[in-house]
Amino acid sequence: MKQVLLIEDEKNLALFVEMELKHESFQVTKAFDGKTGLELALARDWDLILLDVMLAGTGRN
């Protein structure tokens, strides 16, 4: 099964994306902030990382 890391601070949107990915047989791990997302991203190899580039607290918004 393909492993996806989803980094998204809007929980409702993350849950919707997770539901759709699971429907397509992906295993999804979620992070709701950039720090946790970075830690998870570096902890293992992922088949796909979906990143919200406008995360709160990143200095970009």
DSSP 11: H
Does the predicted model carry a pTM greater than 0.85?
yes
Please state, as a whole number, how many other Cβ atoms lie within 10 Å of the Cβ of residue 9.
17
Residue 57: per-residue pLDDT:
64
> Which phi-psi region, left, alpha or beta, contains residue 37 (left: φ > 0; alpha: ψ -120 to 50)?
alpha
Residue 48: per-residue pLDDT:
98
In this prediction, residue 59 has a pLDDT band, given cuts at 50, 70 and 90, of low
Query: What digits encode the pLDDT tens for the residues 9-57?
Result: 999 999 999 999 999 999 999 999 999 999 999 999 999 999 998 887 6
Residue 39: per-residue pLDDT:
97
